[in-house]
């Protein structure tokens, strides 16, 4: 959790909200991304899958749509699209002499009752989180347990379970490590740019295993770490471990990752400590953590930082959940991300009758609207296009386009610079800093072709290049007349296939 940033963001939001008197903004409410109903959210927390439901806890202010009174909100879903909102699961603790804010963390299904918290033979759910004590200027690690499928939690009487008496110690993420038959925690020593690993047999008593870092990007604080095993090239017998660390980058939120091995105590980085590997090249993806499923399947979800544009009555949303994989590339072993397969299946079914496919569209140095594309005007859709870029310098898709073509957002590929990009242009000046008007990710074409996936959802934009080799996520706030879509090229390009799924009514129950 980025405390300093959130305090600054809160000040900006309060000023803007006072000026706008909390004007409702339904035009920017996503239809297939998670948002709280009326309040604030930032980091996702406590992710697990249990009895057929994905559980999502999240940083939440139960009283307003600005940061404060940090508690754990709660929602559940069977398909990661339709969410049932539940009451706050772990509220901020307010006493006469102290306040404990419930900062970020994780949750596990204690199927073997290692913690001893079980009742009636049912597996307890245990949340592990940072308790922030502002009066004491201290952060420590706490646990709480649930015996009612995660609806409510009881604090462990022996809290805190780890206390270093320091102010920059947060965001525990816990998983079961079968070879050692113990729980392993990754937690951030924020200002030291280190991740500490702890081990425990019962989730109560923790011993230090090792420290990792500094390494990679160290320009700003390290937060929200997690460690996961992933198959290499889909081979379940060949596993590498990946350590993710959220940082606050030079221009925007940032997450880096390291690939290597984990021996039960130490994470061994495969690469030089100077090498920096990026999860998302956009300006809003942060604090991501995974649902850990069977067979080393990991589904990642992150907070899409909203920027300075006010939305009401909610504020903040989550990213599209993403399937993670590792693949060998010419540059080495790299992370790939794709919209989760369960999401694709759900959204494909929900858009039935409202989708279309075009083939072999030739664009010659112009803007083109294929017949029928004018129907996709709701700024909530999934688009996939494969471009042949051998004879062009740029090609892509204009989205959120006005009728004069003066305001538009270009999602495209720069052949000469070998870059996937989002260019917010004139429209972006309303809500983007100058350095984030153009957002890019290095990407090489494959046999002269580039595949671009666009997930647009009212106020969020996630772009995947070449099946998730690169991702750019960004927020946008289009006006009522910025809803068009078209194709463009600078040179001769061919769109081999373009598919569009209209998702404007996905949120209907």
Q: SS3 sequence, 355-419?
A: EEEEEEEEEECCEECCCCHHHCCCCEEEEEEEEEEEEEEEEEEEEEECCCCCCCEEEEEECCCCE
Task: Identify whether the C-beta of residue 20 lies closer than 8 Å to the C-beta of residue 79.
Answer: no
Nearest C-alpha neighbor of 439 from the set 477, 486, 489, 475: 475
Give the whole-angstrom CA distance, residue 157 versus residue 117.
Answer: 12
Nearest C-alpha neighbor of 129 from the set 187, 206, 180: 187
Give the whole-angstrom CA distance, residue 6 versus residue 104.
Answer: 14
Q: Could you tell me the CA-to-CA distances from 453 to 203, 298, 324, 373, 466 in Å, in that order?
A: 41, 21, 16, 16, 8
Burial (Cβ within 10 Å: 0-12, 13-18, ≥19) of residue 224: buried
Task: Identify whether the C-beta of residue 23 lies closer than 8 Å to the C-beta of residue 81.
Answer: no
Give the whole-angstrom CA distance, residue 317 versus residue 30.
Answer: 8
Nearest C-alpha neighbor of 270 from the set 329, 215, 208: 215
Give the whole-angstrom CA distance, residue 290 versus residue 297.
Answer: 9
3-state secondary structure of 428: helix
Kindly give, in sequence order, each residue whose CB lies less than 8 Å from that of residue 395, ignoring residues fewer than 6 positions away. Answer: 363, 387, 389, 412, 413, 415, 450, 487, 488, 489, 490, 491, 493, 495
Nearest C-alpha neighbor of 67 from the set 59, 57, 58: 59
> How many CB atoms neighbour CB 400 within 10 A?
24
Give the whole-angstrom CA distance, residue 331 versus residue 322.
Answer: 22
Give the whole-angstrom CA distance, residue 476 versus residue 460.
Answer: 6
> How many CB atoms neighbour CB 500 within 10 A?
24
Nearest C-alpha neighbor of 505 from the set 353, 375, 380, 373: 380
Kindly give, in sequence order, each residue whose CB lies less than 8 Å from that of residue 324, ignoring residues fewer than 6 positions away. Answer: 228, 230, 242, 290, 298, 299, 300, 335, 336, 337
Check residue 122 and report its DSSP letter. B
Please indicate whether residue 97 is annotated as part of the active site.
no
Catalytic residues, by residue number, are: 43
């Amino acid at each position: 959790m980025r405390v300093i940033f959130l305090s600054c963001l809160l000040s900006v939001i309060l000023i803007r909200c006072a000026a706008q008197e909390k004007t409702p903004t339904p035009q920017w409410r996503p239809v297939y991304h998670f948002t709280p109903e009326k309040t604030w959210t930032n980091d996702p927390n406590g992710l697990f899958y249990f009895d057929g439901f994905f559980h999502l806890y999240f940083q939440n202010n139960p009283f307003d749509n600005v940061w404060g009174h940090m508690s754990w909100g709660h929602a559940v879903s069977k398909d990661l699209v339709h969410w049932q909102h539940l009451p706050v699961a772990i509220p901020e603790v307010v006493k006469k002499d102290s306040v404990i804010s419930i900062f970020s963390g994780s949750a596990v299904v204690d199927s073997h009752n290692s913690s001893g918290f079980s009742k009636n033979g049912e597996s307890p759910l245990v949340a592990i989180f940072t308790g922030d004590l502002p009066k004491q200027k201290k952060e420590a690690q706490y646990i709480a347990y649930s015996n009612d499928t995660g609806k409510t939690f009881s604090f462990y009487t022996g809290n805190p379970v780890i206390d270093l008496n320091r102010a920059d110690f947060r965001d525990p993420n816990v998983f079961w490590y079968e070879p050692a038959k113990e729980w392993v925690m990754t937690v951030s020593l924020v200002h030291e740019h280190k991740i500490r690993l702890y081990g425990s047999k019962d989730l109560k008593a923790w011993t230090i295993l090792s420290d990792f870092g500094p390494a990679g990007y160290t320009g700003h604080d390290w937060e929200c770490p997690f460690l996961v095993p992933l198959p290499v090239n889909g081979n379940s017998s060949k596993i590498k471990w990946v350590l993710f660390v959220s940082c606050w980058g030079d221009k925007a939120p940032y997450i880096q990752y390291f690939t290597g091995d984990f021996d039960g105590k130490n994470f061994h980085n495969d690469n030089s400590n100077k090498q920096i590997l990026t999860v998302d090249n956009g300006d809003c993806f942060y604090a991501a953590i995974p649902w850990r499923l069977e067979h080393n399947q990991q589904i990642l979800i992150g907070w899409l930082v909203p920027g300075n544009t006010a939305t009401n009555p909610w504020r903040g949303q989550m990213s599209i959940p993403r399937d993670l994989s590792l693949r060998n590339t010419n540059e080495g072993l790299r992370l790939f991300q794709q919209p989760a397969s369960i999401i694709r299946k759900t959204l494909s079914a929900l858009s039935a009758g409202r989708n279309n496919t075009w083939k072999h569209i030739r664009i010659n140095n112009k803007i083109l609207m294929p017949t029928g594309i004018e129907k996709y005007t709701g700024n909530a859709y999934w688009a996939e296009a494969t471009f042949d870029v051998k004879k062009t310098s740029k090609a892509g898709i204009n989205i959120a386009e006005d009728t004069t073509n003066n305001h538009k957002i270009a999602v495209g590929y720069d052949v000469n610079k070998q870059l996937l990009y989002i260019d917010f242009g004139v429209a972006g000046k309303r809500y983007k800093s100058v350095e984030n008007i153009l957002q890019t990710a290095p990407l090489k074409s494959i046999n002269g072709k580039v595949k671009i996936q666009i997930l647009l959802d009212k106020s969020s934009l996630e772009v995947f290049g070449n099946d998730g080799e690169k991702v750019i996520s960004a927020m946008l706030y289009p006006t009522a007349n910025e809803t068009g879509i078209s194709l463009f090229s600078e040179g001769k390009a061919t769109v081999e296939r373009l598919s569009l799924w209209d998702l404007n009514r996905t949120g209907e129950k």
